[in-house]
Amino acid sequence: KNPFYITGESYAGIYIPMLAHEIFSTKSTINLKGVAIGNGVLGNAPLIGMSYYDFSLGHGFITTGSYEQLIENCCECKSGEVLHECDFSKPANRTKCQATEVEMSGSPNPYNVYDDCGANSAYLRLFNKYYAKAFNKLPVNERPNINCPHEGYADYLNLPEVRKALHVRPDDTHHWSDCGGSYEGVSTDQRPIIMDLINKYNIGKLVIFNGNFDTMCDHIDNNRFVDSLAFKKDGHYSEWKTPDGFIGGFVQHYEKNLSFVLVRGAGHMVPHDKPEAALQLLKNVIGITQF
According to the model, what pLDDT value does residue 113 have? 84
According to the model, what pLDDT value does residue 106 have? 47
According to the model, what pLDDT value does residue 67 have? 82
Contact predicate 176/157, CB 8 Å:
yes
Q: What is the mean pLDDT of the chain?
A: 81
Report, as an integer, the average pLDDT of 286-291: 88
Q: In this structure, what DSSP letter does residue 100 have?
A: P
The H-assigned helical ranges of 184-285 are 191-195, 219-228, 270-273, 275-285
* Angle in degrees, CA 2, 269, 114, rounded to 5: 155
According to the model, what pLDDT value does residue 102 have? 46
Rounded CA gap, 114 and 98, in Å? 27
Q: How far is CA 220 from the centre of its chain?
A: 10
The tens digit of pLDDT for each residue in 183-237 reads 666 667 899 999 999 999 999 999 999 999 998 889 999 999 999 999 999 999 9
Asked if residue 124 has pLDDT above 70, the reply is: no
The tens digit of pLDDT for each residue in 39-68 reads 999 876 555 557 878 888 888 888 888 888
Is 17 strand, coil or helix? helix
Confidence of residue 100 (pLDDT cuts 50, 70, 90): low
Rounded CA gap, 104 and 106, in Å? 6
* Residue predicted with more confidence, 133 or 30: 30
Global pTM?
Answer: 0.80
According to the model, what pLDDT value does residue 115 have? 76
Contact predicate 218/41, CB 8 Å:
no
Rounded CA gap, 31 and 86, in Å? 40
Q: Which domains does the chain have, with CATH numbers?
A: 4-43+189-285 (3.40.50.12670), 45-149 (no CATH)
Q: In the chain, what percentage of residues exceed pLDDT 90?
A: 48
Rounded CA gap, 204 and 180, in Å? 35
The tens digit of pLDDT for each residue in 126-181 reads 555 544 454 444 444 444 444 565 567 778 889 999 999 999 999 998 888 777 66
Tally of CB atoms within 10 A around 180: 9
* Residue predicted with more confidence, 165 or 83: 165
Contact predicate 215/227, CB 8 Å:
no
Rounded CA gap, 15 and 7, in Å? 10
* Angle in degrees, CA 221, 231, 282, rounded to 5: 65
According to the model, what pLDDT value does residue 61 have? 81
Q: In the chain, what percentage of residues exceed pLDDT 70?
A: 71
Asked if residue 258 has pLDDT above 90, the reply is: yes
Least confident span in 14-23, 95-104, 138-147, 237-246:
138-147
Start-to-end CA distance of the chain, whole Å, equals 26
